[in-house]
């Protein structure tokens, strides 16, 4: 079973920052937070991951609370192409650990 809780759906205006929350209150000390997204008719796409420090890459930023029980994925300037289902996943980084997806958040970018 997925160890994360996400809102079912969200809307965001084009050009604005999209902030997607995720609760993972039972996360253990050696589990990372991963974010993937899935655009319609495509496979999931890796976005970003982190352990306890905030992370940023060319796609997004990941803010993890100090107690690590929740996190927020930030898309700084959302475009229509960011419309997708976003999955928050917790996972140990021991090589062959599978990803356990939940139902994710369906993000719709509004023109």
Partner 1 sequence: GAGVSQSPRYKVAKRGQDVALRCDPISGHVSLFWYQQALGQGPEFLTYFQNEAQLDKSGLPSDRFFAERPEGSVSTLKIQRTQQEDSAVYLCASSLTGGNYGYTFGSGTRLTVV
* Nearest C-alpha neighbor of 49 from the set 36, 68, 67: 36
Each residue 47-86 as x (binds partner 1 by CB under 8 A) or -, in order, gives: --x-----------------------------------x-
Residue with tokens 């306890």: 52
Note whether 94 binds partner 1 by CB under 8 A.
yes
Binds partner 1 (CB under 8 A): choice among 34, 64, 78, 109: 34
Note whether 21 binds partner 1 by CB under 8 A.
no
CA distances from 35 to 54, 99, 105, 111 (A): 13, 10, 11, 24
């Amino acid at each position: 079973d997925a160890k994360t809780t996400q809102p079912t759906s969200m809307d965001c205006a084009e050009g604005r920052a999209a902030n997607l929350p995720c609760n993972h209150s039972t996360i253990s000390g050696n589990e990372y937070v991963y974010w993937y997204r899935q655009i319609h008719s495509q496979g999931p796409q890796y976005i970003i991951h982190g352990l306890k420090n905030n992370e940023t890459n060319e796609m997004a930023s990941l803010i993890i609370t100090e107690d690590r029980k929740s996190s927020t994925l930030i898309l700084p300037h959302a475009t229509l192409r960011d419309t997708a289902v976003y999955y928050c996943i917790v996972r140990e980084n021991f090589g062959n650990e599978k990803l356990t997806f939940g139902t994710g958040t369906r993000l719709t970018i509004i023109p």
